[in-house]
Amino acid sequence: MTASRRDWLVLSLGMMALIAAIGLQVDRDRRFPRSAQESDQVLYVRSGAALKRLTLGFNGIAADVYWIRALQHYGGDRLIKIPGAVRYQLLYPLLDITTTLDPHFNIAYRFGAIFLSEGYPGGPGRPDRAIELLRKGLVAMPHKWQYYHDIGFVYYWHLRDYKASAEWFQRAEAQPGAPSWLKPLAATMLVQGQDRASARLLWEQIARSEEEWLRKSATRALLQLDVLDQIDQVNAAIRRVPLSPGERYSWEMLARRGLLRGIPADPTGVLFVLDPDTGRVTVSRDSTLYPLPDEPKRLQ
Amino acid sequence: MSPAIRIEELTKDYAVGFWRKRPYRALDRLTLDIEQGEVFGFLGPNGAGKTTTLKLLMQLIFPTSGRAEILGRPVGDLAVRHRIGYLPENPSFYDYLTAEELLHYFGQLFGLSAADRRTRVASLLDRVGIGAERRLQLRKFSKGMIQRVGIAQALLNDPEVVFLDEPMSGLDPLGRRDVRALILELRDQGRTVFFSSHILSDAESLCRRVAVVAGGRLAATGKLTDILTVQVRGWELVVSNLTPELLARVMPRVRRATEISHGRYNLDLALDTPPDRLLSDLTAAGASLVSLNPLHDTLEDYFLQRVAEAGAGARAPQAEEGAHAGY
Amino acid sequence: MRAIKTVAVNVFRESVRDRVPYNLVLFAILLIASSFLLGQLTAGQDVKIIKDLGLAATSIFGLFIAIFIGIGLVSKEVERRSIYALLAKPVSRPQFIAGKYAGLVLTLAVNVAVMTCALYLILGYMSWTESAAFKATWDAPGADPAILKALLLIFVELMLVTALALFFSTFSTPILSAVLTLGFYVAGHFNADLKNFDRIVESKPAVWLARGLYHVLPDFSAFDVKTQVVHGLPVPGWYLLTTVTYGLTYIAGLLLIATFIFARRDFK
């Protein structure tokens, strides 16, 4: 065998060994799933202050790592389909560690607050923790009007405390560089906080935000508001249809009566769901817009 | 008997330049045969391709084209390494080892038994003049001492063919004399020695045949005298007890006279002045001979001339082919 | 075989002459001093902390040896031209690579073995001096044989780092090799994150890229069972076996490719 042919044989053997190694890795992952080992490790250090010392000068990169872990934790737990499973229990500690390691980690405060206040099962439903996190951000950056605004928003949207909400919007408005729309917003909040129109106004402002992720969630919230309008219209129409005895609501029945031409769909294209007994229309669980924000009953 | 070393059309191109690589021909179709038992000088100025050739023979670099054999086997053959020795140019070894340990290490690679190694290492280090320092780590060694260790390691396996790349470099005059004696000793034992040098006098005193390379090409091969005698330009005669009157008398036959000290002169004679006649006249008049040396062109002059010829040859490939075959 | 062994023994001798064994002294001082100090400071957790420290130090000291000697194994010989005389001896280039690698693995093996003995000595002493009631609060016994599992994986991990360093040094400069090896080591420890990348990113190409990296990068995080061992959690034999086999196969691949690159290299 010539030297050159032997060399190429060595190279192909090496490549084969690397491929075999990947095979072994896949096999091992099948026997011993990775995610099972994960949670222990994350819990290992819970104190952000301790971690700050442990990571020496590399707080920034460590904060990035914990931010990615927080995202993974949040995203991963959203996918769990088991009802009643304990979820998101590490979300706050991870965000807390992230922001302790890097107190100027803007997106971790703002998006973290959205994660935390999101209602179960889309999030842990902890608006109190969201406000805590944003207040921590204000300690590091006392003039960030966005954080005042976000706290006001959490009070408005999740806690329905319109007075507190208006107060925080006013504080936001007092910060340097705050946009002019905050002032009317504070006023509206006091007078007609319960109005869906003011919710739309608020989300539209957020949709103009410079942060892409905030824009994304605002777009989704605006779509949800559209869906709420749509559902209101459909429900109003259905309520006008009298039900004969023994009859149940169905899209076919409504179509027969000339009420609807087809099955209405939400803006993402997923068909609405009709309750055959009550005739109430809701958004499908398959839709990305599910669950819709719950509004106080008297508003509808 | 097959030649000790056979080199056929050996060519090496390097890619040079960082961004746009272009080939640079370090060695251009070198063809040479070296007979067994001869001391062969491989001469040329720095950068001529000597070290490239030796590295190709040691498979430290691989040829672009052409082939080479040592003792009838292709150079890549591991078995042939048991029968050869190699001294790299400006050798460098592991500075954490002592001279003794280094030779034992290499001896193990040759598969020598512990007893063989002990006797062989001790006698070789004696031979190259490394005394009690052999127990010191090589980091404490001077350049000349490293060179001696390098020569010792090249002879460790009692090689049939020895390759020495600039064996005299880094050595003092005494060391050069030692190495010369060593090479002649190897010749007397019937071994083949292939050595490179850019210093002519090294070759003159050792080799039956030489090859001269310049600019990566073979400029000439043959007996050193055949190649170089025509280049003798004159004579340098040093005499003492020379009186001014005597000097004035011989002055017409002298190209230039330089006084070195009182009564001692350096006389520069033209090639057509037979120095023996003049010398006998001078000694008859009471002057005494200090030294008489032929004045060569320096090897560099010779190289320059050959490079010019090789350049001309490149324009006419046929003529160059003839030069290759001409030994 | 003889050539490989001879080259390997010389690498070992070089590391001894380069004062590598001093790290063992440092290791012993670290363990003894911290066991003494912790005895004064903490209640009940000192055996766990000694185990953590011992395993972490074995891993980190070994990592430094593997990287900084590993990158020099080949490149130093080339740079100092000592390889010229060596390769003219009856040593093929594959034998040279194998010998160099085996030599550093031998150094690391001796190093890890001595550290293991030191760790068990200290742990044994600590268990011996504690009351049985106190020992009942520990997650795992003092001189727990399970620590050997973690040490085994640390050793195979160091072998993998060495192979990586050697691989890089066959075609790049020592500094770049060190950076690359360290980079791969760190990236390989964040491998689990790459695997779960699909949880946070929707873009398919990004997920594929992350998945690809997860498989191509050496999976260093798999070798880390320190936490499990220290807390007395089970580490199944099958896990050890597949992970060690994975490591050895990956090493074989790296060394073969390194040999391929090295065999065709010109030493200008």
What ipTM does the predicted assembly reach? 0.88
Q: How far, in Å, are A89, A205, C47, C141 from residue C144 at the CA level? A: 33, 61, 11, 5
> Does the pLDDT value for residue A195 go beyond 90?
no
Q: Please give the helix or strand (H or E) that residue C23 lies within, else none.
A: helix C22-41
pLDDT of residue A298: 38
Please give chain B's pLDDT, 327 residues, in tens.
Answer: 688 999 999 999 988 777 777 788 899 999 999 999 999 999 888 888 899 999 999 999 999 999 999 999 999 888 999 999 999 999 999 999 999 999 999 999 999 999 999 999 999 999 999 988 999 999 999 999 999 999 999 999 999 999 999 998 888 888 888 999 999 999 999 999 999 988 777 787 788 888 988 888 888 888 877 776 556 678 888 888 888 888 888 888 888 888 888 888 888 888 787 788 888 888 888 888 888 887 766 666 666 666 666 555 443 333 333 333 333
C50-61 pLDDT, tens digit per residue, is: 888 889 889 999
pLDDT of residue B184: 92
Percent over 90 (pLDDT), chain A: 15
Cα distance between residue B75 and residue B161, in whole Å:
13
Greater pLDDT, C195 or C260: C260
C264 close contact with A: CB closer than 8 A: yes
Beta bridge partners of B236: B268, B293
- The mean predicted confidence, pLDDT, of chain A is 80
Nearest CA to A195 among A107, A298, A54? Answer: A298
Our CA-based measurement puts residue A9 at a distance from the nearest CA of chain C, in whole angstroms, of: 9
How would residue A237 be classed by pLDDT, with cut points 50, 70 and 90?
Answer: confident
C2, B79: Cβ pair inside 8 Å?
no
> Does the pLDDT value for residue C67 go beyond 90?
yes
Nearest to B88 among C10, C85, C90 (CB): C85
Maximum C-alpha span of chain B: 73
3-state secondary structure of B264: strand
Are B98 and B137 in contact by the 8 Å Cβ rule? The answer is yes
The answer to which of A59-63, B120-124, B215-219, C245-249 has the lowest mean pLDDT is A59-63
Which of A219-228, B30-39, C35-44, C183-192 has the highest average model confidence (pLDDT)?
A: B30-39
DSSP calls for B65-123: EEEEEETTEETT-GGGGGGEEEE-SS----TTSBHHHHHHHHHHHTT--HHHHHHHHHH
C265 close contact with A: CB closer than 8 A: no
Which letter, b or e, does each residue of B1-23 get, where b requires 16 or more Cβ atoms within 10 Å of its Cβ?
A: eebbbbbeebbbbbeeeeeeeee
pTM of the complete model beyond 0.90 = no
pLDDT of residue A240: 78
C260, A14: Cβ pair inside 8 Å?
yes
The token duo for A212 is: 């892409």
DSSP calls for B28-60: EEEEEEE-TT-EEEEE--TTSSHHHHHHHHTTS
Percent over 70 (pLDDT), chain C: 94
Cα distance between residue A25 and residue C243, in whole Å:
8
pLDDT of residue B194: 95
> Does the pLDDT value for residue C167 go beyond 90?
yes
C199, A75: Cβ pair inside 8 Å?
yes
A66-122 pLDDT, tens digit per residue, is: 888 888 778 777 766 666 666 787 888 889 988 988 888 888 898 899 889 887 777
Q: How far, in Å, are B10, B257, B270, B290 from residue B287 at the CA level? A: 56, 15, 20, 10
A76, C254: Cβ pair inside 8 Å?
no
Question: Backbone phi, then psi, for C157, in 5-degree steps?
Answer: -60, -45
Our CA-based measurement puts residue C22 at a distance from the nearest CA of chain B, in whole angstroms, of: 17
pLDDT of residue B296: 67
pLDDT of residue B279: 86
C52 close contact with A: CB closer than 8 A: no
Are B94 and B102 in contact by the 8 Å Cβ rule? The answer is yes
Nearest CA to C4 among C200, C257, C255? Answer: C255
C82, B93: Cβ pair inside 8 Å?
yes
- Best C84, C264, C266 member to test B by mutation, with max B CBs in 10 Å, is C84
Rg (CA), chain B: 24
